[in-house]
Structure 1
C-alpha cells in the first residue's frame, strides 16, 4: 500500500472523527446537557460545554461556575449526562 493511499484513508477517518466531535459538542451546547469529561491523567470534570474550537473545549463548572479551558489533546472521554442525538 502506498503512502498516498494510507494518507488518504487517514485523512478521511480524521474528517469523520471531527464531524462526530462537532455533532456531540454542538448538541451538548444547544440542549445545555451537562457533561462529565475525563482527562488523560484521570481528572474528572463536570459542567456545561459553552464553546469549542479545533484545539480546546470550554467547560462552565456546575455549582462554582468556574470556566475551564481544556485542550482536546488532554481529553480522554466526554460523557453527556443525558442521551444526545448525533444525527
Structure 2
C-alpha cells in the first residue's frame, strides 16, 4: 500500500500564502469568515476584523472564495502486493 501524501497542511498553507478569503463551517453549524493567518496541528488562526483561534476538531468544512493556484495534490496509486 502506498504511503498517504499530506493534504491538510499544503492546502491550508496555499490558502494562507495567497491570502484567499475562506468560510469555515464549524460542526455546530456556525459560519466564520476571514483569511487563514496561521495554523498548526491543532488550531487555525482566522483573521478578519480580529484574529480568532479555531480548534481544528471543531471545523467541519473550509470553503475558499477561489481555488488556490499553488496547491496541487496527487493521490497516490495503491498497489496490491
Higher relative contact order (CA 8 A, sep 6+): 2
User: What's the counterpart of residue 80 of structure 1?
Assistant: 64
Whose helix proportion is higher, 1 or 2?
A: 1
Aligned length: 70
TM-score scaled by length of structure 1: 0.74
Q: Does 1:51 align with 2:38?
A: yes
Q: Does 1:42 align with 2:29?
A: yes
State the Cα distance separating 1:27 from its structure 2 match. 0.6
Structure 1: gaps spanning 5 or more residues: 1-8
How well do the aligned residues superpose, as a CA RMSD in angstroms? 1.4
User: What's the counterpart of residue 18 of structure 2?
Assistant: 31
Equivalent residue runs for 1:50-69 within 5 Å: 50-61=37-48, 65-69=49-53
Q: Secondary structure of 2:38's match?
A: strand
Distance 1:25 1:71 in 2: 14
Structure 2: gaps spanning 5 or more residues: 73-81
